Amino acid sequence: MLLGSCIYMHLSLFEMDSSMTQFPPPSYSTSYRLRSAWKEVLSRRLSNTQKNGDRNIITEDHNTTASENLSNGPHCEPYNLLELEEDHLEEVDVSEESNTFLQFLALNALDLTAPASDVLLRLGYTKRHHPWFQLSGHTGFLAPAGPGTIWKKCSDSCERQVYEKIHGITESGKRKRRKRRFWRREGEQGGGGGADDDEDEPARDVLPRYFREVTYKGENFLELQDLLYGFVDPYVMDIKIGTRTFLEREATADLSSPPRHDLYLKMLKIDPKAPTEEENRTRTVTKLRYMQFREEQSSSSSLGFRIEAIKLRGHEVIGDLKKVKSREDVSATLGTFFRPGGVKVRNKLLHRLREIRSKFERSPFFRTHEVVGSSILIIYDDCSISGNDVGGGSCHVGAWLIDFAKTRPLPEDTVIDHRSPWIYGNHEEGFLFGMDALIKMMEELDFIEDSQTVSALPLKD
């Protein structure tokens, strides 16, 4: 009866969380079809019938095309989940508890993970229920949708258009078939090289997989790949990239508006020495001045990136990092995050970050867009560094470019290099400047044990 007690406890915990967006009806979610298919797989496995045919249930069902999409991303192969469950399912007797066990697995979609960033982090697959953590951003913007997918709330069409363009989604909602070419003649470029040539869009490999936009209870959501799927108790870091994290139009609206007293008071509260003599005399500041002042409070303006939040094993989420400003403090924070994984994890992630930078530079889409307020999500787990696999076992690492709510097309005839300093009107945002600085700083990490470095973060057990 111990199993049954644990199952009811899990169900109670799942149902008590009324604050999160409820799972949608079958007609809405791409991943719901996978849930139904997995329930049938488990039912047959528990009854000890068709042991050799259960995988065909997935592949023969014409409604489970999402499984093919999920397998394209790291750690998103549904069959891996079946292998993880196999040992536990063999221990379950076919009894009255079996139906409850199936119900629990169906409701939780075989250990659904939480959203990758912005709101909730749920740790990877284990035998116990996991709590939900807020990494960064505003609560209520993400919810689990199914095995390997999440729903992200979107207030307008900007972010959807980014995903559809990069992933080659047509206006009819169909995905263009991707051309696979194994070689090119020397000097040959992919397609015409224009912004409309999304058949050879390299950036799609560094973004979360996009499925579609859905409407549920009057709200719009993007169904995206859950980047945490497949990681085990991971270390997670959200790094906002760029020297400017506000849109130029926000500053444009301010040009015709008078300076504001409330912004002066906010500036004074953050740094009493920040206002100029003129601002102290009038006791007002413009919105543009205040936005630039806020950027200067972090490492965004100087380094081109800032650490938004991190999650370490054994500690609560650390989200108050916007004032980690100096190069020394930023380096110490990166060192604390990467030290458990050591040089091996650092080098794997460096390779991935260089890949993201290279594909961004070659992307026809990003060549014609300013990328404001986007982040790099870095994830690794410690399957090879916890002492269980000493001697060079594999470690899971991943990094993706996320968050495109402020990505906008450049005005006609405007060209940017994503590295030059921002001057009002030139639309530079410093994205590649920040990537260069992040990569260089990671290359310089030496992982020397230093108690003062470790204590530089507000860690809480």
Q: Using one digit for the tens of pLDDT, what is the confidence trace for 384-430?
A: 444 344 334 567 899 999 999 999 999 999 999 999 999 888 999 99
C-alpha span between 226 and 264 (Å, rounded): 41
- 290 part of a folded domain: no
Q: What is the pLDDT of residue 191?
A: 36
The lowest-confidence range among 67-76, 200-209, 292-301, 435-444 is 67-76
Of the residues 62, 84, 111, the one at which a domain ends? 111
Of the residues 111, 136, 159, the one at which a domain ends? 111
Q: What is the pLDDT of residue 432?
A: 98
Q: Using one digit for the tens of pLDDT, what is the confidence trace for 290-299?
A: 888 888 888 9
Which two three-digit tokens encode residue 201?
A: 């869009």
Q: CATH no. for residue 356?
A: 3.30.470.160
C-alpha span between 38 and 106 (Å, rounded): 8
Q: What is the pLDDT of residue 238?
A: 93
Q: What is the pLDDT of residue 316?
A: 78
C-alpha span between 364 and 278 (Å, rounded): 45
- 288 part of a folded domain: no
For residues 29 and 89, the answer to whether their CB atoms sit within 8 Å is no
User: Which is higher by pLDDT, 296 or 358?
Assistant: 358
- 95 part of a folded domain: yes
pLDDT > 70 in the chain, percent: 55
Which two three-digit tokens encode residue 163?
A: 């995903």
Work out the average pLDDT over 171-184: 49
pLDDT > 90 in the chain, percent: 31
Encoded amino acid at 129, one letter: H
With CA atoms as reference, report the closest residue to 428 among 442, 441, 443, 411. Answer: 411
* Same domain, yes or no: 244 and 376: yes
User: Which is higher by pLDDT, 294 or 90?
Assistant: 294
- 74 part of a folded domain: yes
Domain count, the chain: 2
Q: What count of Cα atoms within 13 Å lies in the side-chain half-sphere of residue 243?
A: 20
Residue 282 has pLDDT above 90, yes or no: yes
Which two three-digit tokens encode residue 14?
A: 């799942």
With CA atoms as reference, report the closest residue to 322 among 458, 430, 439. Answer: 458
In whole angstroms, what separates CA 190 from the centre of its chain? 28
C-alpha span between 171 and 24 (Å, rounded): 24
Q: What is the mean pLDDT of the chain?
A: 69
Phi first, then psi: give them for residue 45, nearest 5 degrees.
Answer: -65, -40
- 419 part of a folded domain: yes
Q: What is the pLDDT of residue 38?
A: 52
Residue 53 has pLDDT above 70, yes or no: no
Q: What is the pLDDT of residue 435?
A: 98
The lowest-confidence range among 77-91, 94-108, 257-271, 354-368 is 77-91
* Same domain, yes or no: 241 and 379: yes
- 79 part of a folded domain: yes
Work out the average pLDDT over 275-287: 92
C-alpha span between 142 and 160 (Å, rounded): 15
Q: What count of Cα atoms within 13 Å lies in the side-chain half-sphere of residue 66?
A: 26
Of the residues 85, 111, 137, the one at which a domain ends? 111
Work out the average pLDDT over 318-332: 86
CA distances to 57, 105, 377, 397, 458 from 446, in Å: 50, 44, 22, 19, 22
Q: Using one digit for the tens of pLDDT, what is the confidence trace for 224-240?
A: 888 888 887 889 999 99
Residue 324 has pLDDT above 80, yes or no: yes
Q: Which residue has the tokens 């409820």?
A: 22
- 287 part of a folded domain: no
Encoded amino acid at 174, one letter: K
3-class SS string, the chain: CHHHHHHHHHHHHHHHCCCCCCCCCCCCCCCHHHHHHHHHHHHHHHCCCCCCCHHHHHHHCCCCCHHHHHCCCCCCCHHHHHHHHHHHHHCCCCCHHHHHHHHHHHHCCCCCCCCCCCCEEECCCCCCCCCEEECCCCCCCEEEEECCEEEEECCCCHHHHHHHHHCCECCCCCECCCCCCCCCCCCCCCCCCCCCCHHHCHHHHHCCCEEEEEEECCEEEEEEECCCCCCCCCEEEEEEECCCCCCHHHHHHHHCCCCEHHHHHHHHHHCCCCCCHHHHHHCCECHHHHHHHHHHCCCHHHHCEEEEEEECCCCCCECCCCCCCCHHHHHHHHHHHHCCCHHHHHHHHHHHHHHHHHHHHHCHHHHCEEEECCEEEEEECCCCCCCCCCCCCCCCEEEEEECCCEEEECCCCCCCCCCCCCCCCCCCCCHHHHHHHHHHHHHCCCCCCCHHHHCCCCCCC
- 307 part of a folded domain: yes
Look at phi and psi of residue 82 and say left if phi exceeds 0, alpha if psi is from -120 to 50, else beta: alpha
Domain of 386? Answer: 235-248+297-454
Q: What is the pLDDT of residue 86?
A: 34
Q: What is the pLDDT of residue 217?
A: 79
With CA atoms as reference, report the closest residue to 246 among 183, 178, 191, 292. Answer: 292
Q: What is the pLDDT of residue 384?
A: 46
Q: What is the pLDDT of residue 411?
A: 93
